[in-house]
C-alpha cells in the first residue's frame, strides 16, 4: 500500500515546478502535473501566479499527439541572474537567463600567487563592473550565484585552494546589491548543477555521485532536488596515495589531485594548463603521447578510480558521473578508472551495482556553471523572496 504524500508548502510546490522546468527545458501541462505530483487544476492555479510574477511563460507549440496540449510551459527568458566563477586564472562575472543564455561576460585576472587582499580587490572590481552594467540597462537581478574552488563549511574564512574571505565578499555584495539573494558554493557543485540542468541526455535523474576532474578533483552528492537540500561537495581529490609524491596545493604530498588534476596532466604532457584549456577536446588528438606517457596516465587514472571507489564505500549510491579531461579519452584509456573503482575494498561496482557514465568537460566555459547554480537557487526556493516562509 502506498504511503500518503506529505503535505508540501507553497514554496516547495513552486520549487518542484520551477526545478522540473529548469532540468527539462520546458513541458506541456499534463506531463508537468504528473512530474510534480499535482492535479492539473492545482497546477493551473500555481502557473497563473508564476506567470504573473514573470517567472514562466507559455507559448504555442504543435501538440505532441492528436487532441493533445499546445501550450508549452518554460522559464521566462527575461529573468536576469548574475554569476561569478573563480578559477585559478581569473574571476569571471556575467549576467544571463534561466535557460543558460549569457548577455554579458567579463574576466578579471588573478595574480599568479593570489592572497586574501588581492582576491578581495578582484571581487570588488568584478562586482563594480556588474553593478555598472546592470544599472546602465536598468536590469534587476533575481539571484547572484558565486562559485569558489575548495569552498567548504570550514573554509569560509580561510580557503586553502585560493585565498579568499567569503564573509568580506558577502559584505561587499550587501553594500552593492542590497536585497538581491546571494548564494556561494564549491565549484564542483556548480559544475554538477550545470550538467544536470544543461546537458542533454544527462545519464542520471536520481541520486548519484558527480565527480569533476579539472583544476582540482572533487565530487558532489546529487540527490533528488525536490526531496533534499543543495548538493553537498566531497573533497575526494585530497586522499593521499603517496606521502613522498608530488606536492598538492592543499599542502600535502601525493594526493590524487596532485596526479590527476588538469595542472598535473599539463605537466605530464609538457604543456601548460592554459594551453590545454585553449585546445579543449582537441588536445587528445594534437598532443602526442608516448607509450610510456600513456602508461603513466593510466596509473594516475587508476588512482582516480580508487579514490572514487573509496568514496562509494563511505556512502554507496547506484550511479557515478565523471566529467573533465578523462571523459575525452578513448574507452581503452578510461578503463583504468573503472579498474580502480573495481579494485576497491567491498568489490567496487560489481557488488554495489553501480552505473558509471563519462560526461563532457564543462571547464573553460565560465561563468556558465555559476549561472546554472544561480538558476537552481532561484528555482529551489520557488522563485520566492529568500526570507519568505509562506506555507501552503
> Is pLDDT of 156 > 80?
no
- Per-residue confidence (pLDDT) for residue 2, from 0 to 100: 38
Angle (CA) 83 87 91, round 5°:
50
pTM of the model: 0.87
Q: How confident is the model at residue 388 (pLDDT cuts 50, 70, 90)?
A: very low
Neighbouring C-beta atoms of residue 254, cutoff 10 Å: 18
Give the pLDDT confidence score for residue 1 in this predicted structure: 34
Query: What does DSSP say about strands 182-186 and 208-213: parallel, antiparallel, or unpaired?
Result: unpaired
Tell me the C-alpha distance between 294 and 336, whole Å. Answer: 11
What pLDDT sits at residue 347? Answer: 57
Q: Residue 183: pLDDT band by 50, 70, 90 thresholds?
A: very high
Specify the pLDDT at position 387.
Answer: 60
| Residues 114-137, mean pLDDT to the nearest whole number | 95
Q: With 50 as the cut, is the pLDDT of residue 249 above it?
A: yes
State the average pLDDT over residues 173-193.
Answer: 93
Tell me what pLDDT residue 108 has: 96
**pLDDT of 228 over the 70 cut:** no
Q: Are 242 and 300 in contact (CB under 8 A)?
A: no
| Residue 180, pLDDT above cutoff 90 | yes
Cβ neighbours of 65 (radius 10 Å) = 6
- Other Cβ atoms closer than 10 A to 280: 13
Nearest to 145 by CA among 213, 98, 214: 98
Average pLDDT score over the chain: 86
Calculate helix-pair angle for 368-380, 10-24, nearest 10 degrees: 150
What pLDDT shows up at residue 83? 97
Amino acid at each position: 500500500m502506498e504511503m500518503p504524500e506529505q503535505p508540501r508548502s507553497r514554496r516547495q510546490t513552486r520549487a518542484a515546478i520551477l526545478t522540473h522546468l529548469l532540468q527539462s527545458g520546458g513541458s506541456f501541462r499534463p506531463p508537468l502535473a504528473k512530474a510534480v505530483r499535482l492535479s492539473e487544476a492545482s497546477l493551473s492555479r500555481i502557473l497563473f501566479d508564476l506567470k504573473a510574477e514573470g517567472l514562466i511563460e507559455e507559448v504555442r507549440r504543435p501538440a505532441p499527439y492528436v487532441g493533445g496540449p499546445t501550450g508549452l510551459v518554460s522559464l521566462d527568458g527575461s529573468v536576469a541572474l548574475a554569476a561569478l566563477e573563480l578559477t585559478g586564472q581569473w574571476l569571471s562575472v556575467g549576467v544571463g537567463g534561466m535557460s543558460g543564455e549569457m548577455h554579458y561576460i567579463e574576466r578579471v585576472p588573478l595574480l599568479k600567487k593570489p592572497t586574501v587582499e588581492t582576491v578581495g580587490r578582484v571581487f570588488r572590481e568584478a562586482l563594480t563592473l556588474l553593478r555598472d552594467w546592470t544599472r546602465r540597462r536598468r536590469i534587476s537581478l533575481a539571484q547572484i550565484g558565486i562559485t569558489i574552488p575548495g569552498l567548504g563549511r570550514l573554509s569560509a574564512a580561510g580557503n586553502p585552494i585560493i585565498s579568499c574571505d567569503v564573509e568580506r565578499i558577502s559584505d561587499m555584495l550587501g553594500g552593492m546589491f542590497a536585497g538581491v539573494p546571494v548564494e556561494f558554493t564549491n565549484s564542483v557543485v556548480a559544475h554538477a548543477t550545470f550538467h544536470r540542468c544543461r546537458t542533454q541526455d544527462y545519464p542520471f535523474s536520481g541520486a548519484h555521485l558527480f565527480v569533476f576532474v579539472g583544476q582540482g578533483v572533487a565530487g558532489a552528492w546529487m540527490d533528488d532536488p525536490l526531496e533534499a537540500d543543495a548538493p553537498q561537495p566531497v573533497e575526494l581529490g585530497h586522499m593521499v596515495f603517496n606521502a613522498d609524491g608530488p606536492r598538492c596545493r592543499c599542502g600535502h604530498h601525493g594526493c590524487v589531485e596532485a596526479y590527476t588534476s588538469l595542472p598535473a596532466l599539463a605537466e605530464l604532457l609538457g604543456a601548460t594548463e592554459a594551453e590545454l584549456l585553449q585546445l579543449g577536446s582537441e588536445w587528445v588528438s594534437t598532443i602526442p603521447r608516448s607509450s610510456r606517457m600513456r602508461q603513466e596516465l593510466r596509473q594516475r587514472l587508476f588512482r582516480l578510480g580508487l579514490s572514487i571507489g573509496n568514496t562509494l564505500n563511505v556512502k554507496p549510491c547506484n550511479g557515478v558521473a565523471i566529467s573533465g579531461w578523462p571523459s575525452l579519452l578513448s574507452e581503452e584509456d578510461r578503463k583504468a578508472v573503472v579498474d580502480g573503482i573495481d579494485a576497491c575494498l567491498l568489490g567496487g561496482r560489481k557488488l554495489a551495482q553501480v552505473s558509471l557514465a563519462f560526461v563532457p568537460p564543462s571547464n573553460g566555459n565560465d561563468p556558465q556553471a555559476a549561472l546554472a547554480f544561480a538558476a537552481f537557487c532561484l528555482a529551489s526556493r520557488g522563485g520566492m523572496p529568500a526570507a519568505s516562509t509562506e506555507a501552503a
